[in-house]
Amino acid sequence: MYRTDPANTDSDSTTTRHDGDRTLLSAIVEAVAAETGRDPLELDPLYDALDAAALERVVAPDRDTGSLAGRLRFRFESCEVTVTGDGRVTARS
């Protein structure tokens, strides 16, 4: 599930959290839609912007330690999107 975290929403960025009920890709789309003020269905397909399998590998827990240290930053729909291993997805316009 993802949700917009009101404590982390300001005029410069929108942060959501991904906790497993929905896909990480859905959380990214939701954050970008909220940040740009657009309907998620109006956005370009996310799979055209990045490799979903690679994203999951980068932010997945480390097999040996279980730590969630991965981080990936990319551009999508005029936003800089940051995805971290702890489930945070931040879109900044």
Residues 76, 46 contacting (CB under 8 angstroms): yes
Instruction: Give the mean pLDDT per block of 10 residues along the chain (93 residues).
Output: 44 78 85 94 91 79 67 92 87 94
**Amino acid 62: pLDDT:** 66
For residue 5, what pLDDT is reported?
47
pTM for the model stands at: 0.78
| Confidence (pLDDT) at 24 | 84
Question: For residues 88, 11, 3 and 59, what is the CA-based torsion angle, rounded to 10 degrees?
Answer: -20
- In this structure, the number of other CB atoms found within 10 A of the CB of residue 35 comes to 24
What is each CA distance from 72 to 6, 39, 42, 50, 85, in whole angstroms? 23, 24, 24, 11, 9
Rounded Cα distance, 26 and 62, in Å: 22
Q: What integer pLDDT is reported at residue 1 of this predicted model?
A: 35
